[in-house]
Chain A
Amino acid sequence: AQSVAQPEDQVNVAEGNPLTVKCTYSVSGNPYLFWYVQYPNRGLQFLLKYITGDNLVKGSYGFEAEFNKSQTSFHLKKPSALVSDSALYFCAVRDFKAAGNKLTFGGGTRVLVKP
């Protein structure tokens, strides 16, 4: 079975400060990891993914994520947060053996960037 945990329901950060959203995962084999963002009353938008290779993955809107196999983590980061980054963020995992390209999502972390 595959699972994802996002330990923080909400993260508050001041505009211009670094932003980190935490994610840990559990899979039986090699993980494929994803981050999505959801703005109010919208569907989820893909930010970035890790499949293999470089542990630091760069994605859309200046976001990046670091894969750490020993800590089974895939934290999302942005060096300088913007007010427009305020949204709901989801981490998702897929076991490379899982049929149907099925993803398991974490519960989400709400990010609030204050001016």
Chain B
Amino acid sequence: NAGVTQTPKFRVLKTGQSMTLLCAQDMNHEYMYWYRQDPGMGLRLIHYSVGEGTTAKGEVPDGYNVSRLKKQNFLLGLESAAPSQTSVYFCASSFEGRAGRAYEQYFGPGTRLTVT
């Protein structure tokens, strides 16, 4: 199993450019997440998905869009990149959480994005 993979690993964008980050998981997880990590702020949830064809906003969704057309893939898009979006982006996945059960999230290796 590859687990959770992310492409690309690094990217430099100019302000106003667009890009898509791809996340893929091979663990048949129902739930998938996109986070950003900034120094001293831990991880903040951008968007998440509880199943194929569904997405929901997290803590910091502005400036990002997502799609989950296939269960194993979760795409994060930046339509018009801004310097404030310079960050490390992590994708994660987990089994469905049910009452009395809490499944850990599995993380990808991250994408380091710089917007100049």
Interface presence of A9 (CB below 8 A): yes
A22 within 8 A of B: no
Q: Would A96 and B99 count as touching, CB distance under 8 A?
A: yes
B110 & A105 in contact (Cβ 8 Å cutoff): no
Judge whether A70 is part of the interface by a CB distance below 8 angstroms.
no
Q: Which residues of B contact A49 (CB under 8 A)?
A: 102, 104
Cβ-defined partner of B31 (8 Å) among A36, A45, A52, A100: A100
Tell me which of A32, A41, A107 contacts B102 (CB under 8 A): A32
> Nearest chain-A residue to B59 (Cβ)?
A104
- Contact (A46, B43) CB under 8 Å given A94-B97, A100-B31, A101-B96: no
Within the complex, what minimum Cβ distance (angstroms) separates B110 from chain A? 6
Complex Cα distance A99/B102, Å? 11
Known: A42-B109, A43-B4, A43-B108. Is A101-B103 also a contact (CB below 8 A)? Answer: yes
Out of B4, B33, B42, B94, name the residue touching A107 (CB < 8 Å): B42
Tell me if A103 is interfacial: C-beta within 8 Å of chain B: yes
Q: Which of A32, A41, A42, A107 contacts B41 (CB 8 A)?
A: A107
Q: Is A74 among interface residues, defined by CB-CB distance under 8 A?
A: no
Task: Known contacts A43-B109, A100-B50, A100-B56; decide if A105 and B100 are in contact (CB<8 Å).
Answer: no
Partner pick for B45 among A32, A102, A106, CB 8 A cutoff: A102
- CB <8 Å contact, A44 and B97: no
Which residues of A sit under 8 angstroms from B109, Cβ to Cβ? Answer: 42-43
User: Is there a chain A Cβ closer than 8 Å to B105's Cβ?
Assistant: yes
By a beta-carbon cutoff of 8 Å, the part of chain A in contact with chain B is 9, 32, 34, 36, 41-46, 49, 51-52, 90, 94, 96, 99-103, 105-108
The 7 closest A-B pairs by CB, nearest first: A101-B97, A32-B102, A43-B107, A105-B42, A46-B104, A44-B107, A107-B42
Starting from the known contacts A43-B109, A96-B102, A101-B102, 7 additional A-B residue pairs (CB-CB under 8 Å) come to A34-B102, A41-B110, A46-B104, A94-B97, A100-B97, A101-B105, A103-B105
